[in-house]
Amino acid sequence: MISRLHVRGAIIVATAITGLVTLPAPARADQCDDIAKQLAGGIDGLKVNFKAANIIYLTHPAAKELSLGCRSKGQAYSNELYAKGDRKPTPQFYDLVASAAAIIFTVTKDDTTTGATRCLKRMGLLRGDKITMRYKRLNMECTRTKTEAAIAITRPKDE
């Protein structure tokens, strides 16, 4: 009789452990997906297209290309915003870049507007078609071709 109680107890403990192990873990959303949802909710006309690897592609009428790059293991940067527009960017493009950078990097919109405007307007005959600058702990790299201008904004992991 005693052996039956021990066997039953062992079976109950084993089923309890098995039940706990097989319970589904709570789903955790990717931080990058959360940022993309915040962007879509915070900027009028912005739509989230699709995610490929660590890049989420976005669309907006003011930009030709728009993407949010998320950090993977071993990268030096946390997140990256890449936006491409016309060679002479419109005020809507500046506003889009500033709003998106403010949401992604949690910096004020005034600071990101100033940084993006400075970077994009410095390109020219004297300084060239590629500008790299740092403003408010954000790295900004602006490039232009004959038909379009682009800006990439990143923040190092350690800041």
Residue 82: pLDDT band by 50, 70, 90 thresholds?
very high
Residue 4 belongs to a domain: no
Backbone angles phi, psi at 78, to 5 degrees: -80, -60
Residue 91 belongs to a domain: yes
What is the percentage of the chain residues whose pLDDT exceeds 70? 76
Between 59 and 158, name the one with better pLDDT. Answer: 59
140: containing domain: 28-156
Residue 78 belongs to a domain: yes
Between 28 and 71, name the one with better pLDDT. Answer: 71
Residue 6 belongs to a domain: no
Residue 13: pLDDT band by 50, 70, 90 thresholds?
low
Distance CA 117, CA 135 (A): 11
Based on the structure, what is the number of domains in the chain?
1
* Cross-strand partners of 68: 56, 81
Residue 12: pLDDT band by 50, 70, 90 thresholds?
low
Is residue 30 predicted with pLDDT exceeding 70? no
pLDDT at 72: 67
Residue 5 belongs to a domain: no
Distance CA 100, CA 109 (A): 9
Cβ neighbourhood burial of 145 (10 Å; 0-12, 13-18, 19+):
exposed
- In the sheet with 55-59, reading across from the earlier edge strand, the strands are 47-52, 55-59, 65-70, 77-86, 148-156, 138-144, 130-135
Residue 17 belongs to a domain: no
Is residue 83 predicted with pLDDT exceeding 60? yes
Residue 7 belongs to a domain: no
Contact 104, 36 (CB under 8 A): no
pLDDT at 3: 56
* Cross-strand partners of 154: 80, 139
Residue 42 belongs to a domain: yes
